[in-house]
Chain A
Amino acid sequence: MTTVDRRLWLLLPAGLTLTVAFLLPVGWLLSRAFTFPQPGFQNFVLLWERPVYLRVMGNTLWISAIVTPITVLLAFPVAHLMAHGSPRLRRWLVFLVLVPFWTSLLVRSFATAILLQRHGVLNSFLIAFGFTEEPLPLLYNMAGLLAGCVQVLLPFVIFPLYSSMARIDPAYMRAASTLGATPVRAFLRVYLPLTLPGLMTGATLVFISTLGYYIIPALLGGARQQMIAQLIQDQIATFGNWGVAGALSLVLLAATAALLALLQFTVGLKEIAR
């Protein structure tokens, strides 16, 4: 046996855990789409016949598609400071970005509600300083949902971006400007492409995580921000209908896979083109 083969054994504990705790139950749920309550495609027919399911699915993809660029845009400067600032600043930033990880999602969502509500911190501030007279509707609508998702997901973009940026040799940017590139051009043609691996990893994590959100739309979103995880949960917890739940999960999975493949394809092409 070669060394490589022997090292593969190290994958065994994680692999077993993943199989037992993830692959088998998820596979079981997905298979229910074709077997519950009886074998056949009736669950998919139902999804097709009742437009509400596909509309909520579209809603979910749309919300994820909005959350992702906002999160990336906000994360970029933070990761940049982290990568190129002083070590002291970096330690502080890492600490500040990690703190939310120690707090539960539920607590953070309630905290976001406290900030954004009609008589909340932000509205009180805006009214006190004369920016607005009536409290702004920041909660139980798209704004509240976006705020909730973005604040939870920022670390998922900041850290991969940071690791990409930290590996960028500062000499590249100096070389670009020596060769006559404006700072904007140097950023767009040299710096940004080098951050793409981290950026894409982060964006993918954000997009996929948002697709599955359940608590945040329920607590911070409004009537229209209904997302698919809430419907899947209803199917299982209220109706005990594993078939429809499995079909919904499968369609969501397929849509996600298709989108990611598309993304990989287009970004991959761009990288080749450079």
Chain B
Amino acid sequence: MSISITRRTLMAGVAATPLAAYAQGANDLKGTTVVFASWGGAYQDAEKVSYCEPFAKATGATVVQDGPMNVAKFRAMAGSGTPDWDVVDVTGGFLEVAAKDGLLEKIDTKLVNIGRLDPRFVHEYGVGAIVWSYNLGYSTAAYANGAPTTWADLFDLKKFPGKRTLLDQPVASLEVALLADGVAPDKLYPLDVDRAFKKLDQIKAQTVFWSTNSQSQQLFVDREVTMGIILNGRVYDAQQKGAKIALSWEQNIQAVDYLVVPKGSKNRDAAMRLIDTMTVAENQTKVANLIAYSPTNLAAVKDVDKKVEPWLCTTPENLQKGFVMSQLYWRDHLKDLTERWTAWKIA
């Protein structure tokens, strides 16, 4: 997933730097309108305040908010060659698919200073904006005398009795099953699918499957389940609202949301420069403080509110405990494994 920089593009970047690159504050984009599309809600509000507004202020461009991001819509737009959107927030999974299908503009490293970010979160066709992680979440009330810590504990119904919850998708669920079965994170891909499903059989009868994030949170609040796979931000949110829930960072599985430019964008350069504004540490700190999503610019972490910081998956400690999921693997196997997942569920 890491970007391959040829020597030539690298040299071009170096050569251009003193001239026009990373030109913030130039106020040279007056009259340009950049359309920014994301997922709506509190997240897009945070992006608007933290990336779009500083960008508009520095360059004079107008940024219009649109969305929500939708795969079918994105495809139709980029396929037509004249997309309405200029900068779009997409999941890592879609980034790989869209890159393969030629729906994206290559990131122009003369305009985007990707050096600000951890290389794990930079792609040839997209720049990581936030990171989130799949964690082991558990009820602190149910396990008062010793909390579960590892994925293996999720499958240990004797030591940790209680209902489980998994996402209703193979992504992350299969990784978790293999990690629990003793596979090391660096030996995970390509996934040993048969072994993973066999492991999942152990807890299938005890499992409630969640299909929306709010549902995953609600299952813990309502005491329907006592342990399961849940996103770090959702545990944070549930705890803020008073739920007796906690998480383990052991082998947290990280996924990245990227900013991309759809193929054929009329404002390609301005779009790249908006993405560059996103990479600035100060702006990423702002997003983390507003919505507790983890920065891709690791320098942004230290200034985050001390109450929020322990919940981020890109603190030095949590980064080291976790690993980034292979979206490239899922690009090639999601379809078949989703079919198999459904067949396994209804069997």
Interface set of A (CB-CB < 8 Å, partner B): 50-53, 55-56, 59, 110, 113-114, 117-120, 139-140, 218-219, 222-224, 226, 231, 234, 236-242
- When chains A and B are docked, how far (Å) is the Cα of A223 from the Cα of B164? 13
A240–B72 Cα distance when bound, in Å, is 6
CA distance A139 to B223 in the complex (A): 13
Q: Does B106 contact A (CB under 8 A)?
A: no
Pick from B218, B335, B342: contact of A56, CB under 8 Å: B342
Do A140 and B335 touch across chains, with their CB atoms under 8 A apart? Answer: no
Contact A223 B72 (CB under 8 A): no
The residues in B between 202 and 232 inclusive whose CB is less than 8 angstroms from any CB of A are: 204, 207-209, 211-212, 215, 218, 222-224
Chain A residues with CB below 8 A from B168, complex form: 218
A236 to B75, CA, bound (A): 11
A–B Cβ pairs within 8 angstroms, 7 of them: A55-B343, A117-B224, A140-B224, A223-B345, A238-B338, A240-B72, A242-B72
B346, A56: Cβ atoms closer than 8 Å: yes
Q: A222-B208, A239-B334, A239-B335 are in contact. Are A118 and B342 (CB under 8 A)?
A: no
> Chain A contacts of B49 at CB under 8 A?
none
Are the CB atoms of B211 and A218 closer together than 8 Å? yes
* Smallest CB gap from A226: residue in B: B346
Q: List 17 other contacts, CB 8 Å, given A56-B342, A218-B212, A223-B207.
A: A52-B339, A52-B342, A53-B339, A110-B218, A117-B222, A117-B224, A119-B222, A120-B222, A218-B211, A222-B209, A223-B209, A226-B345, A226-B346, A237-B70, A238-B71, A238-B334, A239-B335
- CA distance in complex: A120, B218 (Å): 13
What is the minimal beta-carbon distance from A3 to any residue of chain B, in angstroms?
Answer: 46
In order of increasing CB-CB distance, the 4 nearest A-B pairs are: A52-B343, A223-B345, A218-B211, A140-B208
Q: Which of B103-137 contact A (CB under 8 A)?
A: none
Query: Across the two chains, which residue of chain B brings its CB closest to A140?
Result: B208
Docked CA distance A10–B97 (Å): 48
Q: B162 to chain A: closest CB distance in Å?
A: 11
Chain A nearest CB, measured from B163 CB (Å): 8
For window 310-347 of chain B, which residues contact chain A by CB distance below 8 Å?
Answer: 334-335, 338-340, 342-343, 345-346
Inter-chain contacts of B224 with A (CB < 8 A)? 117-119, 139-140
Residues of B near A140 (CB, < 8 A) are 208-209, 224
Q: Given the complex, which residues of B lie within 8 Å of A113, measured CB to CB?
A: 218, 222
Q: In the complex, which residues of chain B have a beta carbon less than 8 angstroms from the beta carbon of A236?
A: 71-72
Shortest distance in angstroms between B96's beta carbon and chain A's nearest beta carbon? 13
A-side contacts of B345, CB under 8 Å: 223-224, 226
> Which residues of chain B come closer than 8 Å to A238, judged between CB atoms?
71, 334, 338
CA distance A55 to B340 in the complex (A): 12
- Bound CA span A56–B223, Å: 30
Q: How many angstroms between the C-alpha atoms of A199 and B99 in the bound complex?
A: 53
A110 CA / B212 CA spacing, docked (Å) = 12
| C-alpha spacing A222/B207, complex, angstroms | 9
* Residues 126-183 of B at the A interface (beta carbon under 8 Å): 168
User: Which residues of A sit under 8 angstroms from B340, Cβ to Cβ?
Assistant: 52
What B residues does A223 contact at CB under 8 A? 204, 207, 209, 345-346
Which B residue's beta carbon lies closest to that of A52? B343
A24 to chain B, nearest CB (A): 16
A residues near B97, Cβ cutoff 8 Å: 240
